[in-house]
Amino acid sequence: MSEAESKRGRKRVYDFQRTRESILDAAEALFAEHGFDATSVESIAAQAGYAKSLLFQYFGDKLGLYAQVLRRVDQEVGELLARVLTYELTDETVLRAAQFKEFLTVMVQTYFDYLLEHPRLVRILSWEMTRGWQTFAQVGSQLVPHDTYRLEPLFQKAREAGLLRSDFVPIIQLTLMMPLCQAYLGYLPLYQQLLPQEELASASGLAQARDYLVDFIVAGMMGHIPETPAEKGN
């Protein structure tokens, strides 16, 4: 292959990726604003500035496009969780209260920060809840579960160490962190109307909200567990 042909090939790949991302951005914005049912392929094409036929060529149909919007989010969240799960738990590992508390704290902070930076996702999730997750059910199989196999042994060790106050399904306990953060951020515009004297959307206001949610969720999962003398010494 000549150098000129190689450059043309790279340009085609770049143009394909750029076009695809532009369409996904437009679709995400409209799905967030209007929900899946009220968003048309025509409106997405107009928002993205491309022919409707190109959307069908890239994504098949509106549901396929919706699936790719969620899959992009799923990949980003998976990368975040991979960074949180920075250590491997072995059979010899003794899970300490401080270690588990730190893990839960970072998880809540990670979810809160991601949703804060992605307000469109907060709205898309809200639309899904109003429809009983019917649309999500059609595309959920296309999303890849991330690192849940590593969470099961972690929560099992937490149970054995007496660090969890409940035996309720561990994965549900963990994933409830996201909707609790979502609920606060989704209600934030209402809170601002009801409490105009509070600077809830300021950097300090959001930091206080995040700290509150960390305390609320972590205390709810762990309860009050005193540190051992060994932990206090570390």
The arithmetic mean of pLDDT across residues 217-223, rounded, is 91
**Domains of the chain by range and CATH?**
1-60 (1.10.10.60), 71-226 (1.10.357.10)
Q: Which residues contact 73 (CB under 8 A, 6 or more apart)?
A: 118, 121
Determine contact, residues 106/86, Cβ cutoff 8 Å. no
Tally: H helices and E strands in the chain? 12, 0
Determine contact, residues 210/173, Cβ cutoff 8 Å. no
Residue 234, pLDDT above cutoff 80:
no
pLDDT in tens, 195-219: 999 999 999 999 999 999 999 999 9
Rounded to a whole number of angstroms, the CA Rg of the chain reads 22
pLDDT at 132: 95
Give 45-51 contacts, CB < 8 A, sequence gap 24+. 48/22, 48/23, 49/22, 50/19, 50/22, 50/23
pLDDT at 155: 83
Of the candidate ranges 38-47, 62-71, 104-113, 151-160, the one whose mean pLDDT is the lowest = 151-160
pLDDT in tens, 100-155: 899 899 999 999 999 999 999 999 999 999 999 999 999 988 776 666 666 777 88
Q: pTM of this prediction?
A: 0.84
Determine contact, residues 74/67, Cβ cutoff 8 Å. no
Q: Could you tell me which residue, 154 or 164, shows the higher pLDDT?
A: 164
Residue 80, pLDDT above cutoff 70:
yes
